[in-house]
Structure 1
Amino acid sequence: MIVTLDYESELPLYSQLYDEIVRGIAEGSVKPGDSLPSVRSLAGDLSINLHTVNKTYHLLKQEGYVQIHRQKGAVVQPHGSAKATPEFLGRMERQLRSLAAEAVCRSLDEEQFVAQCRSIYRELKGGSAT
């Protein structure tokens, strides 16, 4: 799993790491049942604080993406994907609303906005990006 973090970004490192791991799961580079690197190992590889990785792993567990075992560490949910909870749907709506507002302010028309969303979704699902 290749993780890229922007240390100069306003987005917190734990949030960037969360996004990278979820993207890996969506793209299939991280498969159900795969173990994630240990907190200590990943923190060392990325030169970030252990608590940052630990916070990310606990958020991934809370959202249903991983299970945390005492001996195995963080393991990608082996029984399929996380469910679309009401909390997730609310967060998705807020984020899409914000992006849609920016698109409107930048004179992007609805079809361009929807086409971009569709392209990214299909790319992550492994389908065509048309």
Structure 2
Amino acid sequence: MILRIDQMSPNPVYLQIRDQIVAAIARGELLPADRLPSVRALASDLGINLHTVNKAYAVLRDEGYLLMRGRAGAVVADFKQLASPEKKAASAEKLGASLYQLALEHCAQGGTEEDFLKEAQAQADRVFADPGVAGAKRDVHVLGLDPKDGALRPERPGESANILGSDSAAPQGA
């Protein structure tokens, strides 16, 4: 998986990291027990402050996507097995609250219930039709590498990139 940071995005960098890791877990690019780069290594590779990566990892830990194993670093959690009934209920409540807020915004912009449901269905179809989410084979090859030296090249100016989930991505530790 390649992590891309868009410095021009209105979204904070830590949320960009969080969202991309969640998407990689959903697509099966990151599986339970996969190790992530250390906070320092990822921050260095992306050219950002280590506190930003630490915040992203902390949010992912608090949401149940990562386990922090001290000096061993961050690993992908098995949410289905590790989440308590309370954590699952909180996740469902968060989903409901997010959908409610989106419905309110859609309505405030003059949208109809029918249009909202069509768009929600289209986005659900988009996610669950993705072969990675549907459970197809794991694709771990990385695109965007320079074939000469293996260095990762950002796609656009102002964008940082990092390989995440690769065994050679970074040494583990804090």
Q: Per the alignment, do residues 125 and 36 of structure 1 end up closer, same or farther by CA in structure 2, a change over 3 Å counting?
A: farther
- Within the candidate set 107, 111, 117, 2:110 is matched to 107
For residues 98 and 50 of structure 1, what CA distance do their matches in structure 2 show? 32
Tell me, yes or no, if structure 1 residue 2 matches structure 2 residue 25: no
Moved more, 20-29 or 115-124: 115-124
Q: Which amino acid aligns with 1:107?
A: G
Aligned residue for 1:48?
48
Q: Which amino acid aligns with 1:11?
A: N
- Within the candidate set 117, 123, 126, 1:120 is matched to 123
The offset of 1:5, in angstroms, is 2.7
Moved more, 4-13 or 20-29: 4-13
Tell me, yes or no, if structure 1 residue 31 matches structure 2 residue 31: yes
SS at match of 1:31: coil
2:17–2:56 Cα contact (<8 Å) kept: yes
Aligned residue for 2:92?
89
TM-score by length of 1: 0.79
Aligned pairs, how many?
Answer: 128
1:25–1:31 Cα contact (<8 Å) kept: yes
1:61–1:68 Cα contact (<8 Å) kept: yes
SS at match of 1:85: helix
Structure 1 gap ranges (5+): none
Greater relative contact order (CA < 8 Å, ≥ 6 in sequence) = 2
SS at match of 1:8: coil
1:23–1:124 Cα contact (<8 Å) kept: no
Structure 2 gap ranges (5+): 132-174
Q: Per the alignment, do residues 124 and 37 of structure 1 end up closer, same or farther by CA in structure 2, a change over 3 Å counting?
A: farther
For residues 72-83 of structure 1, the aligned pairs below 5 Å read 72-78=72-78, 80=80, 83=83
Moved more, 101-110 or 62-71: 101-110
Two-structure CA RMSD over aligned residues (Å) = 2.5
Q: Which amino acid aligns with 1:89?
A: A
2:65–2:78 Cα contact (<8 Å) kept: no
Q: Which amino acid aligns with 1:99?
A: L
Considering only CA atoms, is the larger Rg found in Structure 1 or Structure 2?
2
Aligned residue for 2:101?
98
Q: Per the alignment, do residues 97 and 34 of structure 1 end up closer, same or farther by CA in structure 2, a change over 3 Å counting?
A: same
SS at match of 1:32: coil
The offset of 1:24, in angstroms, is 1.0
Q: Which amino acid aligns with 1:54?
A: N
2:65–2:79 Cα contact (<8 Å) kept: no
Identity rate, percent: 38
